[in-house]
Amino acid sequence: MQKILHYPRLDTILNVERLLKNAAEPLSKNEIDRRLEKKIMRPTLNVILNYLEESGKIALLKEGILWIYEKDVSKKLRAKLDNAALKENIK
């Protein structure tokens, strides 16, 4: 496991999320760094991107980093899971 020297602040994570969410095409790490208002260290950006990938919000493609999370899809999936759990409890 890699030792993390600097953890990102919440506002930095939210800025990266907002940037990726509003991007029209996949972005490289260099492009993300250029578009951010406040510069961040590359290891900190890597921590943020790892978190976003593990939480299912982004996909790391050879073309770049792409936002894939859709709030409505998650709500529909949650509703279906809840219904399935209710049906299982009734049996």
**Sign, CA torsion 82/85/87/90:** negative
Residue with more model confidence, 44 or 88: 44
The mean per-residue pLDDT over the stretch 48-67 comes to 94
pLDDT band for position 71 (50/70/90)? Answer: confident
10-90 domain in CATH 3.30.950.10? no
Q: Are 79 and 86 in contact (CB under 8 A)?
A: no
Q: pLDDT of 1-50, one tens digit each?
A: 567 777 899 999 999 999 999 999 999 999 999 999 999 999 999 999 99
pLDDT band for position 86 (50/70/90)? Answer: low
**Sign, CA torsion 5/53/15/25:** positive
Residue 15 C-alpha from the chain's centroid: 11
Q: Are 12 and 38 in contact (CB under 8 A)?
A: yes
pTM: 0.75
Which residue ranges make up each domain of the chain? 10-90
For residue 61, the cross-strand partners are 64
Residue with more model confidence, 54 or 83: 54
